[in-house]
């Protein structure tokens, strides 16, 4: 395959990561429906090998709660999935750790919107989808986790979004997505991949042994919802109060602070 902006960096990604994940491989494909779906398919067939699968183009990507994530033209976005066996005491907060790791490697201005979005200047820059699959028979607590990541390198044009962004509550027009080029001018998708993967693997492995609590203070520094009025997808509204030790969102609703898990609702600023 002719070298591309991703393949040119694949070897460096492998060299900087293989010592952390023995047997680790890096694959780059020109086009795929969904990197997460492909790695989940392999997991269901019994594959345990740690692998990073990156795509120049993703045509049927998936986001949280069934939302789509489609990459634009090659080089204008970065889409990849990381699969590795993991057995944490608790899975709670993993998507927050992934977002935090990415933000810390990308730019100081990036913020985190609970539970799985990267934000730049109050606009969505990227998203995260975490899925797990059972590994073999009788493997207590051992699962393969597949972490899917999509990051806009260039700011997508409305014509590339496939649909008009959903309006915010109250009828206010939704803000268009952001692009990393706004703060990292000239940085390519391949350079971005090389910048984030080693730290991401280290942070996920630390999460396995120490849980979300080891990252809570760092997450708080980038929590864009803190002390913001928020609306939950079930209609409730309240004031966000950060997250607890498990990564659940704390929301003051009518004077009572409630812990909200990502499996229950989605959340957006009012």
Dihedral in degrees, nearest 10, Cα atoms 230, 232, 236, 241: -40
The count of other CB atoms within 10 Å of the CB of residue 144 is 25
How big is the CA angle at 59 (ends 83 and 46), to the nearest 5 degrees?
Answer: 30
Helix, coil or strand: residue 43? helix
The answer, as to whether pTM is greater than 0.85, is yes
Cα angle, residue 61 at apex, residues 55 and 63 outer, rounded to 5°: 130
- Architecture of the domain delimited by 225-269: Roll (2.30)
Q: What is the mean pLDDT of residues 223-242?
A: 93
- Secondary structure element (H or E) that encloses residue 124, with its range: strand 123-134
In the prediction, which pLDDT does 75 show? Answer: 62
What is the model's pLDDT at position 62? 60
Please give the average per-residue pLDDT across 143-158, as a whole number.
88
Sheet holding 25-32, edge to edge: 25-32, 51-58, 77-86, 143-152, 123-134, 117-120, 110-113
Mean pLDDT is lowest, of 27-31, 172-176, 242-246, for: 172-176
> Is 268 among the catalytic positions?
yes
Residue 155 annotated in active site? no
**Domain segments of the chain as ranges:** 7-220, 225-269
CB 109 within 8 A of CB 183: yes
Which residues of 2-60 form beta strands (DSSP E)?
Answer: 25-32, 51-58
Average pLDDT over residues 29-36: 94
Query: Which of 108-112, 139-143, 185-189, 233-237 is the least confident region?
Result: 139-143
For residue 211, which phi and psi values (nearest 5 degrees)?
Answer: 75, 180
Q: Beta-carbon neighbour count of residue 64 at 10 Å?
A: 17
Dihedral sign for Cα atoms in the order 110, 57, 207, 242: positive
Name the DSSP class of 94. H
Given this chain, do its domains 7-220 and 225-269 carry the same CATH topology?
Answer: no
CA torsion, ordered 255, 218, 64, 182, to nearest 10 deg: 110
Residue 73 banded pLDDT, cuts 50, 70, 90: low
Looking at residue 171, its pLDDT comes to 44
Under the banding of pLDDT at 50, 70 and 90, the label for residue 2 is low
C-alpha span between 77 and 152 (Å, rounded): 4
Active site residue 113: no
Pick the catalytic residue from 123, 143, 218, 268: 268
pLDDT at 152: 95
**223: pLDDT confidence band, cut at 50, 70 and 90?**
very high
What average pLDDT is seen over the chain?
A: 87
DSSP class of residue 166 equals P
CATH T-level topology, domain 7-220: BirA Bifunctional Protein; domain 2 (3.30.930)
Give the residue with greater pLDDT, 261 vs 174.
Answer: 261
Catalytic pick among 123, 124, 206, 236 = 124
Q: For residue 265, give the 3-state DSSP assignment.
A: coil
Percent of the chain topping pLDDT 70: 81
Q: How confident is residue 143, by pLDDT bands cut at 50, 70 and 90?
A: confident
């Amino acid at each position: 395959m002719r070298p591309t902006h991703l393949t040119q960096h694949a070897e460096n990604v492998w060299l900087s990561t293989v010592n952390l994940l023995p047997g680790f491989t890096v694959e780059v494909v020109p086009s795929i429906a969904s990197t997460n779906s492909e790695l989940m398919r392999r997991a269901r067939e019994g594959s345990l090998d740690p692998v990073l699968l990156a795509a120049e183009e993703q045509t049927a990507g998936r986001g949280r709660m069934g939302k789509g994530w489609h990459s634009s033209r090659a080089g204008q976005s970065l889409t990849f999935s990381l699969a590795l066996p993991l057995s944490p005491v608790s899975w709670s907060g993993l998507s927050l750790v992934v977002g935090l790791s990415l933000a810390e490697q990308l730019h100081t201005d990036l913020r985190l919107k609970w539970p799985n979005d990267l934000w730049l200047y109050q606009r969505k820059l990227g998203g995260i989808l975490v899925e797990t699959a059972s590994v073999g028979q009788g493997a207590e607590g051992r699962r393969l986790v597949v972490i899917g990541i999509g990051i806009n390198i260039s700011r997508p044009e409305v014509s590339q979004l496939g649909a008009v962004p959903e309006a915010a509550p109250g009828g206010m027009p939704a803000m268009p997505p952001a692009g990393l080029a706004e703060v990292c001018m000239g940085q390519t998708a391949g350079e971005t991949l090389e910048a984030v993967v080693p730290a991401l693997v280290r942070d996920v492995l630390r999460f396995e042994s120490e849980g979300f609590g080891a990252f809570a203070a760092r997450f708080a520094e980038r929590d864009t919802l803190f002390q913001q009025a928020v609306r939950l997808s079930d209609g409730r509204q309240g004031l966000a109060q950060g997250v607890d030790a498990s990564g659940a969102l704390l929301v003051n609703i009518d004077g009572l602070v409630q812990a909200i898990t990502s499996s229950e609702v989605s959340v957006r600023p009012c």
